[in-house]
Structure 1
Amino acid sequence: MVKHTQPDQTLIKMPSLRAVKAFVAAARYQNFTRAAEALCVTQAAISRQIRDLEEHLGAELFNRAGRTVELTPAGSIFYDAVQLSFTNIAQAAERIRHTDSPKQRVTLCCSPAFANFWLGPKLPAFFASHPEIDLNVVVTQNFLTLENGINPDLLICKMAKSGQGYFSQPLVCDVIYPVCTPQYLQQHPEVRTLEGLRDTALLNLSPFGRSQVAEHVDWKVWFAYQDIDLDRRNIDAPLLFNANDFSLLLQLTQNHQGVALGWHYLVAPLVEQGLLVRPVEETLVHRETLHYLSMSEAKARDASCCKVRDWLAEQFDWSLHEDSEADTQADSPT
């Protein structure tokens, strides 16, 4: 006996997508004639599609006023919903069409700080050496639960993705030291000592909303590794400024507003350029806190993904070398 599929009421009750497309165009241009021109159809066709849609919904979608039209309250509700849906459909179709393009798209997921201070300055060189690859960068702080539809080919974050459909390799450990501008150091020479540093304006990275899976290092932790109690700050010391955005803290630092903790692989270029300086030599080396480069197992034989992965790993070589030098100058935490 042949089993028949029951009628799908959801699909049956859906309005005509052709009529919805006409509605979106009319709402966007607020004119049936311009909507017809945009869709390469006649104005009569647009009017008919809109009329059929209104009959289907049992509500007027437009207020007609001469040659222009305005959305009714019901039309505004419908437009907000269908515009987002059409955008998603268009983007999905574009991604599918893109698979036939001679260029290959590679999606890299990373943190805002990594994108701004490490990746961004290096991208022009990547574009020049790999014109055949379209790199799609997705920036997030939440690596534990990525948004629906985001399936990165490559990730750089503080957790290994091994066993979750990814191959992971360690890139660098955390090497953390204070940084400020030369101007701030000149105006506050007391920050050349740990006690003076404790009592100056401190720009602190808070953990809130950062989805950290490793130990979070802020000023309290950093000073504790140097046997300094942050709670014993001078009563007249400036207040600590807290933010969970490293980019904001570094921007304030470069504007001479205080001293921030700098992660070596992010701030080393700024130090080398003389834009930032290290007021003290003390460094916290977290050998157990690693940053990983993970690649999707499904892309293991994808030439473009492998090129991007290899390029990223090669760019980190200088960081590993610099970190080794920093290790020799710093006392390792026990």
Structure 2
Amino acid sequence: MNQHPSTDQTLLKMPSLRAVRSFVAAARYESFTRAADTLCVTQAAISRQIRELEEHLGTILFERVGRSVKLTPAGAIFFEAAQLSFLNIAQAAARIRKDYGTHARRTVVVCCSPAFSALWMAHRLPSFFTANPDIDLDLVTTQNFLTLEPGTDPDVFITKMARVRDNYVSVPLFHDRIYPVCTPAYLDEHPEIRSLEGLRDGVLLNLSPYGRSQVAEHVDWSVWLAIHHLDIEDRLLHGAHYFNANDYILLIQMVLGNQGVALGFDHLVSPYLQKGLLVKPVEHELVLEETRHYFAYREDKANDDALNRFRSWFFDQGDLTMATGRTA
């Protein structure tokens, strides 16, 4: 190992870290007695360490004020630097214990859309944590997978992009199945939406394409109706309103609040249908057979135990590779 004389001299000129620790404790509590109690040593030991440090620095660091002590101007300067250094050391030690220690917890960083995290992940995650108490998840949500903040390198992407980044292995998942959804109560109040024409003329809650430029195709009400040979422009001019938003979670909350009908993406809304919270007013649907969702994981972590356990759990949630896209 190459030695650097200047670094060696710096180390030789450093005061005793034990003395600096005693100084920081005494300065923080303004008391040698409390510092001794905190460090589980005697007050005499604290006094001896601080006297050693003052001799090393060639100046007085404390002034006695009654039963307490007060930093001198030189002491204040040294305390600011010493406290910050000890904080940095403590934080580095905590990270090392967490990531490399004998009982280190592992963290898997997962990146997906806000809708997928809220409507697919959220109610399933308890089963993952129960089965994997030693693994933490760091969930990053975005609509723009190509412009994450610098330094953000997820272990896993769940996205509709077949190739999200270099050096990731992409596993194809399901096709999108898209159909109208509303609550049973809303359907009872608006029986006319049991037909495609009545649906077209009803209150439609629409997912706009704003901020979704990376999605290979965008299906909104105009596209879905056109596939079923209806033109959105034929809606009555003075009829029910047409609400537009680029927040899919908001749209589903509005549907659950009996405010209209939205297009349901099967992997996101199927749990609500299974519980009877949502229903299909019509049986028509659209399957995007040319595109899929993908589970992409870092190639350099292909043998990482934590990532593999997350991947196994993820695929155990349902037949995610099935072409029809049906999930548990």
Query: Scaled by the length of structure 2, what TM-score is found?
Result: 0.71
Q: CA deviation at 1:135?
A: 1.6
Match of 1:305 among 304, 307, 313: 307
Does the Cα contact within 8 Å between 1:265 and 1:319 map onto a contact in 2? no
Query: What does residue range 1-334 of structure 1 map to in structure 2 within 5 Å?
Result: 44-45=70-71, 95=95, 97-101=97-101, 102=103, 103-161=105-163, 164-317=166-319, 320=322, 323=325
Letter in 2 for 1:197: L
Q: CA deviation at 1:322?
A: 6.2
For residues 162-214 of structure 1, what are the alpha-carbon distances to aligned partners after superposition, in whole Å with 9 as ceiling and x for unaligned?
76110001111110000001111111111001111111111111111234331
Q: 1:315 to 1:324 in 2, by over 3 A?
A: closer
Return the alpha-carbon distance in structure 2 between the equivalents of residues 284 and 35 of structure 1: 72
SS of residue in 1 equivalent to 2:172? strand
Q: CA deviation at 1:233?
A: 0.3
Does the Cα contact within 8 Å between 1:171 and 1:316 map onto a contact in 2? no
For residues 25-60 of structure 1, what are the alpha-carbon distances to aligned partners after superposition, in whole Å with 9 as ceiling and x for unaligned?
xxxxxxx97899999998744965767999xxxxxx
Does the Cα contact within 8 Å between 1:153 and 1:305 map onto a contact in 2? yes
The equivalent residue for 1:73 is none
Does the Cα contact within 8 Å between 2:146 and 2:164 map onto a contact in 1? no
Q: 1:264 to 1:89 in 2, by over 3 A?
A: farther
Q: CA deviation at 1:256?
A: 0.4
Q: 1:239 to 1:277 in 2, by over 3 A?
A: same
Q: 1:89 to 1:173 in 2, by over 3 A?
A: farther
> Any stretches of 5+ residues in structure 1 without a counterpart?
1-31, 55-86, 326-334
Does the Cα contact within 8 Å between 1:144 and 1:211 map onto a contact in 2? no
Return the alpha-carbon distance in structure 2 between the equivalents of residues 200 and 300 of structure 1: 49
Does the Cα contact within 8 Å between 1:143 and 1:211 map onto a contact in 2? no
Q: 1:47 to 1:253 in 2, by over 3 A?
A: farther
Return the alpha-carbon distance in structure 1 between the equivalents of residues 149 and 226 of structure 2: 37
For residues 258-278 of structure 1, what are the alpha-carbon distances to aligned partners after superposition, in whole Å with 9 as ceiling and x for unaligned?
000010011011001100000
Letter in 2 for 1:146: L
Does the Cα contact within 8 Å between 1:253 and 1:259 map onto a contact in 2? yes
Q: 1:130 to 1:269 in 2, by over 3 A?
A: same
Return the alpha-carbon distance in structure 2 between the equivalents of residues 155 and 115 of structure 1: 12
SS of residue in 2 equivalent to 1:252? helix
Return the alpha-carbon distance in structure 1 between the equivalents of residues 171 and 92 of structure 2: 31
- The sequence identity of aligned pairs, in percent, is 48
Letter in 2 for 1:131: P
The alignment yields a C-alpha RMSD, in angstroms, of 3.6
For residues 125-158 of structure 1, what are the alpha-carbon distances to aligned partners after superposition, in whole Å with 9 as ceiling and x for unaligned?
1111111211221111111111122110011011
Letter in 1 for 2:181: V
Return the alpha-carbon distance in structure 2 between the equivalents of residues 156 and 88 of structure 1: 35
Letter in 1 for 2:221: W
Return the alpha-carbon distance in structure 1 between the equivalents of residues 73 and 229 of structure 2: 77
The equivalent residue for 1:79 is none
Does the Cα contact within 8 Å between 1:117 and 1:266 map onto a contact in 2? yes
User: Rg bigger for which structure?
Assistant: 2
Return the alpha-carbon distance in structure 2 between the equivalents of residues 119 and 182 of structure 1: 25
Return the alpha-carbon distance in structure 2 between the equivalents of residues 206 and 128 of structure 1: 37
Return the alpha-carbon distance in structure 2 between the equivalents of residues 88 and 193 of structure 1: 66
Q: Structure 1 residues 285-294 or 231-240, which shifts more?
A: 231-240
Return the alpha-carbon distance in structure 2 between the equivalents of residues 35 and 206 of structure 1: 61
